[in-house]
Amino acid sequence: MRADQAYDELMRRVREETILTTVEALLEWDEETYMPSGGVENRSEQLAMLAGLLHERGTDPRLGDLLASVEASALLADEASPVAVNVRALRREYDRFVRLPRALVEEIARTTALAQKAWTSAYGAADFMRFRPWLERIVDLKRAEADCVGYVDEPYDALLEDYEPGLRSAVVARLFGALRRELVPLAERIAGAPRRPDSSALRRHFPRDRQRRFGEAVAAAVGFDFRRGRMDLGGHPSCTGIGLGDCRITLRYHDRDFPGGLFTILHEVGHGLYEQGLDPKHYGTPLGETASVGMDEAQARFWENRVGRSHGFWEHFYPRARELFPESLGDVPLDEFHFAANRVAPSLVRVHADEVTYNLHVMIRFDLERALVSGALAVADLPEAWRAAYRDSLGVTPRTDAEGCLQDGHWSDALIGYFPTYTLGDVFAAQLYTCAERELGGLGEQFARGEFAPLVQWLERRVYRAGGRHPSARLIEVVTGSPPDHRPLVSVLREKYEALYGI
């Protein structure tokens, strides 16, 4: 087989797999948005069928032959060439895929379907015992997955690798440790600050349809392209690529949480800008995909935290918000609103946490799931370990497991190794922001003038168009000149909150 022909066939096959994946994505989006309730079973059969097709294609020995042909050729001579980048990524995916026995993959799928129901019931009843056997089974299955995939240091590495290729648990742990040592005292200083925001106005009534209108206007203003995307109400906030030119965001609105809803929109819009900014020339191949889950999360947190929670952003958008919600915001000055929307307080529930304490929630999960996978922590001891960790890191203790170790659905969905990408994303986002500020200058003033295009273009040039050219840790170094580093995040938080709280 000629290597260039092998590569062409490889690209054709991987593009076909991408198309099937986007069909799967539409089925999932539709399930969250418009599917009638009676369609649930049918939908699971449709999804199972596509999963089967994808597994069949993804483990086809022909893929292995094609990869080997190209790898043995001169096509890989230049390590940075598109061919080399794509082949490296496809080799990694293929090896992972073929190492997983079909029986294990199916067993995980079956177990998570049931475990999610058990988790919903356990969460509703705040009764960990109902979920415990399922979590034990899932930890066993994920450990088996790690054994099949292989690892050097610890099994958790093999799980993390699925979301953050090339990053080891020990590296993440060091980064998180350094970040924690800065965040805990910062949160404590804020807790002891004499100045405090009055956030009572934010709990007033904000009609959902007006929140939706405002959110869509903001999304369009910052650059989300509605000709190539849309926003709908859905069960969980999400952003899904349905293929080139079709990116769908789902959202929820709460009458009494206007800023929270808007930050969620900006979070999903951050994902959407990345998706819409990928290089169409490489669509369907690793070079035209996001670099990693953590880098994707970085784009979301960039827009949620660095843009959405900034003073400049609200200088531009607050007058519009006041026009839309005169009853609730008419008597609230801009600075008071901005301070209230940035209130910091230790809390029990991750998804409602402020940006200073949020990463402490994530680190607790990272530590605990790593210990579960290594066997150092038994599932039976999880609730107590969770309470102890919250006491130590945040100074709060959950009264029930519903506001404790049952609060997130990730583990019931076998997403172990996923949590750290949230904090990695926040770390990367601050590195990118600091670099963009250095290169573009005056970002806050630009936001205040409603100018977001220069920033989006910068991100597009430096991050979006790079696609999967580098693993995330390398990409962040290529763009910012520095490997993953917690200090920019600490700096932006310290600077912002010292000013707000007068500490």
Q: Which residues are catalytic?
A: 268
Continuous segment of H or E residues that includes residue 313: helix 311-324
Handedness of CA 110, 113, 117, 122 (dihedral sign): positive
Tell me if 243 contacts a copy of itself by CB under 8 A.
yes
Name the one range near a copy of itself by CB under 8 A: 49-57, 124-132, 414-422, 432-440: 49-57
Tell me if 34 contacts a copy of itself by CB under 8 A.
yes
53-82 mask for a copy of itself (x: CB under 8 A)? x-----------------------------
CB 327 within 8 A of CB 204: yes
How many CB atoms neighbour CB 12 within 10 A?
12
Tell me how far, at minimum, the Cβ of 105 lies from a copy of itself, in Å.
19
Structure tokens at 54: 């994808």
Of 78, 114, 220, 226, which one interacts with a copy of itself (CB under 8 A)? 226
- Compare residues 20 and 371 and give the one whose CB is closer to a copy of itself: 20
Tell me if 49 contacts a copy of itself by CB under 8 A.
yes
Strand ranges for 113-266 from DSSP E: 229-233, 238-241, 247-251
Would you give the DSSP letter of residue 79?
Answer: T
Size of the site for a copy of itself (CB under 8 A): 35
- Compare residues 20 and 173 and give the one whose CB is closer to a copy of itself: 20
Specify the 3-state DSSP secondary structure of 293.
helix
Straight-line distance from the first to the last Cα atom of the chain, in angstroms, rounded to the nearest whole number: 68
Of 71, 106, 162, 246, which one interacts with a copy of itself (CB under 8 A)? 246
Tell me if 209 contacts a copy of itself by CB under 8 A.
no
Specify the 3-state DSSP secondary structure of 378.
coil
Of 152, 194, 200, 227, which one interacts with a copy of itself (CB under 8 A)? 227
CA distance 279 to 151: 32
Name the one range near a copy of itself by CB under 8 A: 144-152, 228-236, 417-425, 440-448: 228-236
CB 212 within 8 A of CB 218: no
Of 2, 36, 61, 77, which one interacts with a copy of itself (CB under 8 A)? 36
Closest CA to 291 of 313, 275, 280, 270: 275
Specify the 3-state DSSP secondary structure of 192.
coil
Tell me how far, at minimum, the Cβ of 90 lies from a copy of itself, in Å.
19
Of 41, 194, 209, 236, which one interacts with a copy of itself (CB under 8 A)? 41
Query: 503 exposed, middle or buried (CB, 10 Å; 0-12, 13-18, 19+)?
Result: middle
Tell me how far, at minimum, the Cβ of 47 lies from a copy of itself, in Å.
10
CB 440 within 8 A of CB 448: no
Structure tokens at 214: 């405002």
Please give the single-letter amino acid code of residue 372.
L
- Compare residues 280 and 375 and give the one whose CB is closer to a copy of itself: 280
CA distance 342 to 268: 19
Specify the 3-state DSSP secondary structure of 250.
strand
Tell me how far, at minimum, the Cβ of 268 lies from a copy of itself, in Å.
15
Within 13 Å and on the Cβ side, how many CA atoms surround 299?
Answer: 29
Tell me how far, at minimum, the Cβ of 370 lies from a copy of itself, in Å.
38
Of 3, 9, 50, 136, which one interacts with a copy of itself (CB under 8 A)? 50
CA distance 497 to 492: 9
Of 245, 326, 333, 395, which one interacts with a copy of itself (CB under 8 A)? 245
Of 9, 13, 35, 120, which one interacts with a copy of itself (CB under 8 A)? 35
Would you give the DSSP letter of residue 486?
Answer: S
147-186 mask for a copy of itself (x: CB under 8 A)? ----------------------------------------
Of 9, 13, 30, 208, which one interacts with a copy of itself (CB under 8 A)? 30
Give the interface with a copy of itself as residue ranges (CB under 8 A). 16, 19-20, 22-23, 26-27, 30, 34-43, 45-46, 49-50, 53, 225-230, 232, 242-246
